[in-house]
């Protein structure tokens, strides 16, 4: 290596070093954006008053139906997995149990309705003190029946997010993104993100 090359090499290191404060600034901005987005969830204003069992924040029984009660097996799998994936997320201290208790106040349904634009819908009733009384969650397979199973799962997981007390969050790649085409086709989200989990953990 001759002197010219050594000089060039040193100069390059110097240039990189000068860029370090800029890089640090960019990194600081990214941290700031990330930390603000982690607290950007929206809450519906209602929740379930369930005594948390140890080791989990929520233990909510969701009534499901036998397969024959659904119009398609696709709906059955979408609901089963949409519920289960909340508990399977490694970062979630959330346990959404599915049971078949007839006393459950949460029910899942399949409808085929071409006269509405929604592919999924959560319909609650309320009691005093910001509490949900009942929740009916619908999957409209007129539209969702044509989705991939992953996209269909993004709809049912999203509705389970509503059931837990989360409201929509537009303009972000989270499960509570209201538009299924953005949520799955653009963002590839069909299970709870850190933001969604933070929202639920703030409630229970
Ligand atoms: Zn929604």
pLDDT in tens, 87-127: 766 555 567 766 666 666 788 899 999 999 999 999 999 98
CA distances to 52, 88, 144 from 158, in Å:
22, 15, 13
Distance from Cα 16 to the centre of ligand 1, integer Å? 47
Can you tell me whether residue 202 is helix, strand or coil?
helix
Give 1 or 115, the one with higher predicted confidence: 115
Residue 3 banded pLDDT, cuts 50, 70, 90: very low
Q: Are residues 83 and 8 in the same domain?
A: no
Distance from Cα 151 to the centre of ligand 1, integer Å? 14
Provide the pLDDT for residue 97. Answer: 67
DSSP state of 51: P
Q: What percent of the chain has pLDDT over 70?
A: 67
pTM of the model: 0.76
Burial class of residue 199, CB neighbours in 10 A (0-12, 13-18, 19+): buried
Q: Are residues 127 and 71 in the same domain?
A: yes
Q: Are residues 58 and 152 in the same domain?
A: yes
Q: Are residues 23 and 87 in the same domain?
A: no
Distance from Cα 168 to the centre of ligand 1, integer Å? 6
DSSP state of 119: S
Distance from Cα 158 to the centre of ligand 1, integer Å? 6
Q: Are residues 52 and 146 in the same domain?
A: yes
Mean predicted lDDT score pLDDT of the chain: 77
Provide the pLDDT for residue 37. Answer: 46
Range of the domain at 112: 42-203
Q: What CATH number is attached to the domain comprising 79?
A: 3.40.390.10
Distance from Cα 41 to the centre of ligand 1, integer Å? 13
Distance from Cα 178 to the centre of ligand 1, integer Å? 5
Distance from Cα 99 to the centre of ligand 1, integer Å? 23
Tally of structural domains, the chain: 2
Distance from Cα 28 to the centre of ligand 1, integer Å? 33
Q: Are residues 27 and 79 in the same domain?
A: no
Distance from Cα 122 to the centre of ligand 1, integer Å? 7
Own/partner long-range contacts of 46-49 (Cβ < 8 Å, ≥24 apart): 46/124, 46/126, 46/130, 46/131, 46/132, 46/165, 47/130, 47/131, 47/132, 47/164, 47/165, 47/203, 47/204, 48/131, 48/132, 48/164, 48/165, 48/204, 49/129, 49/131
Distance from Cα 6 to the centre of ligand 1, integer Å? 61
Strands (E), 53-114: 59-63, 95-99, 106-111
Q: Are residues 197 and 100 in the same domain?
A: yes
Q: Are residues 1 and 99 in the same domain?
A: no
Q: Are residues 65 and 14 in the same domain?
A: no
Provide the pLDDT for residue 29. Answer: 37
Q: Are residues 17 and 79 in the same domain?
A: no
Q: Are residues 13 and 108 in the same domain?
A: no
Residue with tokens 């309320």: 126
Residue 70 banded pLDDT, cuts 50, 70, 90: confident
Provide the pLDDT for residue 92. Answer: 53
pLDDT in tens, 164-180: 899 999 999 999 999 99
Provide the pLDDT for residue 32. Answer: 38
Q: Are residues 84 and 114 in the same domain?
A: yes
């Amino acid at each position: 290596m001759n002197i010219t090359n050594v000089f060039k090499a040193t100069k390059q290191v110097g240039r990189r070093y000068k860029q370090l404060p800029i890089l640090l600034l960019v990194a600081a901005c990214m941290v700031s954006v990330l930390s603000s987005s982690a607290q950007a969830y929206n809450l519906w204003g209602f929740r379930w008053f369930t005594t948390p069992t140890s080791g989990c924040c929520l233990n909510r029984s969701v009534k499901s139906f036998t397969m024959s009660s659904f119009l398609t097996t696709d709906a059955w799998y979408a609901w089963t997995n949409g519920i289960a994936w909340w508990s399977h997320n490694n970062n979630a201290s959330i346990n959404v149990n599915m049971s078949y208790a007839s006393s459950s106040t949460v029910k899942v349904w399949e409808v085929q309705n071409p006269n509405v634009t929604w592919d999924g819908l959560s319909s609650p009733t309320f009691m005093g003190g910001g509490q949900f009384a009942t929740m009916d969650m619908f999957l409209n397979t007129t539209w969702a029946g044509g989705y991939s199973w992953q996209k269909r799962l993004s709809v049912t997981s999203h509705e389970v997010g509503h059931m837990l007390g989360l409201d929509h969050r537009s303009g972000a790649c989270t499960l509570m993104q209201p538009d299924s085409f953005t949520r799955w086709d653009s963002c590839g989200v069909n299970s709870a993100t850190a933001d969604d989990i933070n929202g639920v953990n703030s409630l229970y």
